[in-house]
Amino acid sequence: MSTEPEVPANRAPTLTDVAKLAGVSVATASKAINGRDEVKAATRARVLKAAELLSFAPNALARALLGGRTGTVGLLTSDLEGRFSIPILMGAEDAFGAGEVSVFLCDARGDAIREAYHVRALLSRRVDGLIVVGSSTDPRPPLAGTIPVPVVYVYAPSADPGDISITVDNVGGGRLAVDHLLACGRREIAHVTGEPGFAAARDRAEGAAAALADAGLSMLGGKPYYGSWDETWGRAAAHIVVEQHPEVDAIFCGSDQIARGVLETLRDLGRDVPHAISVIGFDNWDAIAAHSRPRLTSIDMNLERLGAVAGRRLFEAIAGAEPPSSEQYPGRVVMRDSTAPAG
Amino acid sequence: MSTEPEVPANRAPTLTDVAKLAGVSVATASKAINGRDEVKAATRARVLKAAELLSFAPNALARALLGGRTGTVGLLTSDLEGRFSIPILMGAEDAFGAGEVSVFLCDARGDAIREAYHVRALLSRRVDGLIVVGSSTDPRPPLAGTIPVPVVYVYAPSADPGDISITVDNVGGGRLAVDHLLACGRREIAHVTGEPGFAAARDRAEGAAAALADAGLSMLGGKPYYGSWDETWGRAAAHIVVEQHPEVDAIFCGSDQIARGVLETLRDLGRDVPHAISVIGFDNWDAIAAHSRPRLTSIDMNLERLGAVAGRRLFEAIAGAEPPSSEQYPGRVVMRDSTAPAG
DNA sequence: CTGAAAGCGCTTACAG
DNA sequence: CTGAAAGCGCTTACAG
């Protein structure tokens, strides 16, 4: 007849194949491979060599079927395009990737139906937990239905205060920006920002106002210049501010794109940035901030850390730890060349 | 004694629970749930109601253990940060998400060790296939080791021509850009681009040169102005080009960031864009292209489609179709305000 | 049309 | 120290 190969070519080698090749039972092979210490050294060596020979990789599905835990989590984003999701996602992936956890990525595209569909699929794959990444800092509705595994919301908090949400401290971020300008000796500070419909805009403005109040000052014009998040508004707003308040010596912008527009207009007007007028942005978006003239000082919200924290909290919750409560994280100032003491 | 609940509270309901509640065998419950037609309508109804009642979701792991296929694929990126990966990833996620396939996301961070580690993990989770997303268009080494499932490389081709690679046609993209400028009646065309160490730079330049040659023209200065991919180089290069070739009437830029810098310098110099000089970029990066002055015409490489194609090809390969061969996809011109006929 | 039995690849008490 | 047996949750021939 034909020669009988130890292992059929067309399928992944199983523990049975390894055991056969090593001349032991599957039970023993299992113990050897998993480093249990009730195995004679010589036996273990034989098993490991056999596994090596067959490039055996234990079937994680079979394992999961037993253990209860699968070592997988779902990462649910509502908007991959938005650049805020990406660093968060990287942070989370990193927090897990270091361990034994694999991450399912699902983009709901901002659609509740798609989201529900994805959740269903993830649950049927028996993920150990879920991370929900929002695309704005506004609260979002909690996941529909009863979710039998821990869930951590990140960036956008869940509207249900009972849920675990890891968010950015935008009020603190606004404070940070203004405190930096104050440290540069600025007193006549305007705030140009995005749409007031966004919590991010309102929160940053609130923080800015509070920092100014603490210094006995108020915002130039008495309130923020609300508009949109882009450069076009930044350019227009700079014209308005300079005209209405020629004494302006600093502008805190709600985004780097706005700041970029402000910078361009100030350049067109021949204003000296950073000395006559200092400008600080928000987001620390490298592509925008690192190549403007001058290069833009900005607030970085440490989104990658945020993702990593979310990953760790989920991990803890899965491990059955005390359900962690919600947390807010502050940002930091990244100095470039658009802010400096008056000179 | 105590009341006996139909299902213990603390674990996911199983098919056995459903069967018990419906008063049938697990075999019958399975058939009912899977829509096999050897089940009496009334029985099926009872089973479905029971499943509904328990919010039963079939355990995908157990299913996969049988069927051979898991309905999962691995998406291996080398650099999530790079903005090229994201649209590709969205396209792929979309191609799969529509079906029954879930996607594992792994970021190797450009590290071969991490990559090997992730591949190992994915294989032990028995993914049905792998998509490898590169971060530049330069060929990359194929995955190490023997991979027992289909692999599709996207954006960066595998260095092994026997592998399936889905890539962007950068030569064609360079052609497209120059053809557009020629259509605008331009004849004195310079090419400012990034580092010559990148295949993307060389390929686009090659396409540009070919299109010019076809029109009986050659590049202003005889060759591309190579530099770096950022705005700073764009600004510097524009000065150089204008000085060396005052007759310049169009500049093809190897990236939108370069183009943005070029635009700024031309503005500083008082040159009328698009009429005196037309400028076209590459990448169609909205944040950069849509807010410049004037807004930038650019080549879009349709990366999301690229990802979707990769997803479909992998799908076909998994289904056992003829191993698809490698493919290259052209881009398209996205008109904004920086190119126009001379006026 | 329905159900008892075998089996997917593994791990874990439990004997020996 | 080693192995036979049961079982994780499901599906699929095979009887009835």
Q: B85: which residues sit within 8 A by CB, 6+ positions away?
A: B77, B78, B79, B133, B135, B155
Is the Cβ pair A122, B102 closer than 8 Å?
A: yes
Does one domain contain both A320 and A233? Answer: no
Residue A297, beta-bridge partner list: A280
Q: Is the pLDDT of residue B186 over 70?
A: yes
- Given a contact cutoff of 8 angstroms between Cβ atoms, the answer to whether A242 and A258 are in contact is no
Task: Give a yes or no: residue A339 inside a domain.
Answer: no
Q: Any idea what the CATH number is for the domain that residue A37 is in?
A: 1.10.260.40
State which residues form the domain around A203. 170-301
Return d(Cα B144, Cα B150) in angstroms, integer.
14
Tokens representing residue A236 in the block:
């227009």
- Assess whether the previous peptide bond of A148 is cis (omega < 30° from 0): no
Confidence of residue A321 (pLDDT cuts 50, 70, 90): confident
Give just the sign of the alpha carbon dihedral B240, B177, B338, B286. Answer: negative
Is the Cβ pair B81, A60 closer than 8 Å?
A: no
Q: Is the pLDDT of residue A7 over 70?
A: no
Q: Is the pLDDT of residue B68 over 80?
A: no
Does one domain contain both A30 and A19? Answer: yes
Does one domain contain both A79 and A178? Answer: no
Q: Which residues in chain A are closer than 8 Å to B57, comparing Cβ atoms? A: 120, 123-124
Locate the chain B residue with the closest alpha carbon to A60.
B125
Give just the sign of the alpha carbon dihedral A185, A187, A193, A196. Answer: positive
Tokens representing residue A133 in the block:
């990444």
Does one domain contain both A126 and A94? Answer: yes
What does the CA dihedral A104, A105, A106, A107 come to, rounded to 10 degrees? 170
Strand D atom within 7 Å of A68 CB:
no
Task: Give a yes or no: residue B259 inside a domain.
Answer: yes
Task: Give a yes or no: residue A121 inside a domain.
Answer: yes
Please tell me if residue A319 touches chain B, with a CB cutoff of 8 Å: no
Helices of type H across chain A: 15-22, 26-33, 41-53, 60-67, 85-97, 112-124, 170-183, 199-214, 231-244, 256-268, 286-289, 303-318
Task: Give a yes or no: residue A6 inside a domain.
Answer: no
- Max distance between CA atoms of chain A, in angstroms, equals 98
Is the Cβ pair A102, B103 closer than 8 Å?
A: no
What phi, psi does A226 have (nearest 5°)? -80, 145
Task: Give a yes or no: residue B283 inside a domain.
Answer: yes
- pLDDT attached to residue B8: 46
Return d(Cα A331, Cα A168) in angstroms, integer.
8
pLDDT tens digits along B89-131: 999 988 987 778 999 999 999 999 999 999 999 999 999 999 9
Does one domain contain both B177 and B295? Answer: yes
Strands across the sheet containing A278-282: A225-226, A189-193, A250-253, A278-282, A297-300, A332-334
Does one domain contain both B76 and B97? Answer: yes
Does one domain contain both B115 and B195? Answer: no
Does one domain contain both B176 and B271? Answer: yes
Q: Is the pLDDT of residue B287 over 70?
A: yes
Q: Any idea what the CATH number is for the domain that residue B269 is in?
A: 3.40.50.2300
What phi, psi does B228 have (nearest 5°)? -120, 175
pLDDT tens digits along B135-159: 999 999 999 988 999 999 999 999 9
Task: Give a yes or no: residue B309 inside a domain.
Answer: yes
Does one domain contain both B211 and B231? Answer: yes
pLDDT tens digits along A219-251: 999 999 999 999 999 999 999 999 999 999 999
Is the Cβ pair A57, B120 closer than 8 Å?
A: yes
**Residue with the two structure tokens 């419950």:** B29
Helices of type H across chain B: 15-22, 26-33, 41-54, 60-67, 85-97, 112-124, 170-183, 199-214, 231-244, 256-268, 286-289, 303-318
CB contacts under 8 A, A 1-20 vs B, are 12
Does one domain contain both B98 and B45? Answer: no
Q: Are strands B151-154 and B189-193 parallel, antiparallel or unpaired?
A: unpaired
Task: Give a yes or no: residue B49 inside a domain.
Answer: yes
Return d(Cα B116, Cα B298) in angstroms, integer.
37
Task: Give a yes or no: residue A9 inside a domain.
Answer: no
Q: Is the pLDDT of residue B4 over 50?
A: no
Q: Which strand (E) or helix (H) includes residue A177?
A: helix A170-183
HSE (CB half, 13 Å, CA atoms) of A144?
10
Does one domain contain both B280 and B210? Answer: yes
- Given a contact cutoff of 8 angstroms between Cβ atoms, the answer to whether A151 and A331 are in contact is no
Hey, how many other C-beta atoms are within 10 angstroms of the C-beta on B245?
14
Q: Into how many domains does chain A fold?
A: 3
Return d(Cα A89, Cα A129) in angstroms, integer.
15
Q: Distance between the two ends of chain B, CA-based, in angstroms? A: 94
Strand C atom within 7 Å of B65 CB:
yes
Return d(Cα A305, Cα A31) in angstroms, integer.
38
The last residue of one of the domains, among B6, B29, B58, is: B58
What does the CA dihedral A42, A46, A49, A53 come to, rounded to 10 degrees? 170
Does one domain contain both A148 and A113? Answer: yes
Please tell me if residue A329 touches chain B, with a CB cutoff of 8 Å: no
